[in-house]
Amino acid sequence: MIGLLHPASPLLQLMLAAAASWLLLAGLLPLLQRRLLDQPNARSSHSRPTPRGGGLAFVLVACLAWLLLGSWSLLWCLPLALVGLLDDWRGLPVGLRYGAQVATAAVLLLHTRLPGLEPWSWLALLLLIAATAVINFSNFMDGLDGLVGACMAVVLAAAALGGRPELWPLIGALLGFLPWNWSPARVFMGDAGSTFLGAVLVATLLGCRSWGQAFGLLLVASPLLADAASCVLRRLRAGQSLLQAHRLHLYQRLQQSGWSHHRVSGLYVVVTALLALLQQLGGWPWALMGSVAVLAVGLKLESTVAVPFAASASRSRAGLQRSTTPPC
């Protein structure tokens, strides 16, 4: 029992971080309701005004813990969270946001532990682009109650069990955040939280000591990342601007078909947890087999349950036109 309550104990870190995150968000909520209230629009999945920026709670708790524990490398993700908070508050130009993501990814790349990776190689450049994609994908997927927070908690738990104990405070902070964010959400994490989690995932992947370990962890995150990547590719193929608001991700089209927020989010969390279990038991080969099965499930849901991509695109265009047309 004493060992479980040792300062280095994952259980104690989880408990303290969860309590601190829950209490901090409870204190921040009145301010977020006044300053960062998200009004529903044509691209929203929610129907009532809900404050955003709640991710600030788990960001601050995790960063304070990392300061105390000496996990300096993960603190490079903090500036991106502050940029996200400014974007939640005022809205920032796309170029400025992407520039901050590139700068964050570049710093994280300089601290990589992946073997044989030279900082100024072509491979490093490709990884830099991929890192900014992961950060953006994390942001893109944050459109349904509890989805990104719960899935990221599972992915980071897999990394922590695989030798990254410095992640336990963030996992605990996410657990403290989720009661506020699960359906029906009382607060959204906003860009402050979603881009920070994407950056932490990048830092975790680059911090792996082998390419196989990094690949396995990437496969655990594939339910989130594959949904985002496939949607981007389909929109490019359809000639749509990637800067245009939409509701075309699979998770959004499942929700449009009549599935509840917690049913969609629960599905993503369960398959992510199954992939994490396979990765823990058999490494990346087992996780790869699991990812193929998850892909098959996704294709089945795409063809039998989700609102078709083209139909959802038409709805999005019509909704945006209605929301931007002034009344007569």
Q: For residue range 58-98, list pLDDT tens digits in order.
A: 999 999 999 999 888 899 999 999 999 999 999 999 999 99
- The pLDDT assigned to 24 comes to 98
Q: Which residue has the higher pLDDT, 292 or 321?
A: 292
CA distance 228 to 238: 15
**Domain span including residue 264:** 10-32+52-317
φ/ψ region of 182 (left if φ > 0, alpha if ψ in -120 to 50, else beta) reads: beta
Question: How many whole angstroms separate alpha carbon 227 and alpha carbon 254?
Answer: 12
**pLDDT (0 to 100) of residue 120:** 80
pLDDT, average across residues 219-235: 97
Q: Examine residue 76 and state whether it is found in any structural domain, yes or no.
A: yes
Q: Read off the pLDDT band of 325 (50, 70, 90).
A: very low
**Does residue 37 lie in a domain region?**
no
Q: How many domains does the chain have?
A: 1
Q: Give residue-wise pLDDT tens across range 1-20.
A: 444 445 568 999 999 999 99
17-37 mean pLDDT = 96
What is the rounded CA–CA span in Å between residue 167 and residue 74?
9
Q: Does any domain span residue 326?
A: no
Q: How confident is the model at residue 39 (pLDDT cuts 50, 70, 90)?
A: confident
φ/ψ (deg, to 5) at 50: -140, 130
Residue 322 lies in a domain: no
Which has more confidence, 161 or 323?
161
- Exposure of 7 in the CB half-sphere (CA atoms within 13 A): 4
- Are 268 and 147 in contact by the 8 Å Cβ rule? The answer is yes
What is the tens place of the pLDDT at every residue in 262-304? Answer: 999 999 999 999 999 999 999 999 999 999 999 999 999 999 9
Burial class (CB in 10 A: 0-12, 13-18, 19+), 294: buried
Cis peptide before 184 (omega within 30 of 0): yes
Q: What is the pTM of this model?
A: 0.94
**Token digits of residue 222:** 């594939």
Q: Above 60 in pLDDT, residue 319? A: no
At residue 119, the pLDDT reads 76
Percent of the chain with pLDDT over 70: 92
Beta bridge partners of 38: 50
Tokens of 136: 């953006």
Q: Does 41 map to a domain?
A: no
Is the pLDDT reported for residue 159 higher than 50?
Answer: yes
Q: Which of 68-72, 102-106, 216-220, 324-328 has the lowest mean pLDDT?
A: 324-328
Contact 220, 155 (CB under 8 A): yes
Could you give the CA distance from residue 188 to residue 207 in angstroms, rounded to a whole number?
Answer: 29
Q: Give yes or no for a contact between 131 and 217, defined as CB atoms under 8 angstroms apart.
A: no
Query: In angstroms, rounded to a whole number, what is the distance separating the alpha carbons of residues 161 and 158?
Result: 5
Mean pLDDT for 109-128 is: 91
Q: Give a yes or no: residue 278 inside a domain.
A: yes
94-115 average pLDDT score: 96
The span from the CA of 223 to the CA of 272, in Å, is 6
As a whole number, mean pLDDT of residues 126-151 equals 97
* pLDDT at site 61: 98
Query: Is the Cα dihedral 298, 172, 200, 241 positive or negative?
Result: positive
Residue 195 lies in a domain: yes
HEC assignment per residue over the chain: CCHHHCCCCHHHHHHHHHHHHHHHHHHHHHHHHHHCEECCCCCCCCCCCEECCCHHHHHHHHHHHHHHHCCHHHHHHHHHHHHHHHHHHCCCCHHHHHHHHHHHHHHHHHCCCCCCCCCCCHHHHHHHHHHHHHHHHHHHCCCCCCHHHHHHHHHHHHHHHCCCHHHHHHHHHHHHHHHHHCCCCCCCCHHHHHHHHHHHHHHHHHCCCCHHHHHHHHHHCHHHHHHHHHHHHHHHHCCCCCCCCCCCCHHHHHHHCCCCHHHHHHHHHHHHHHHHHHHHHHHHHHHHHHHHHHHHHHHHHHHHCCCCHHHHHHHHHHHHHHHHCCCC
Give the pLDDT confidence score for residue 244 in this predicted structure.
83
Which band of pLDDT confidence, cut at 50, 70 and 90, is reported for residue 327?
A: very low
Q: Is residue 281 part of a domain?
A: yes
Question: What's the whole-number mean pLDDT along residues 153-176?
Answer: 97
CB count, 10 Å around CB of 111?
Answer: 14
**Hey, what amino acid is at 173?**
A
CA atoms of 75 and 198, how far apart (whole Å): 13
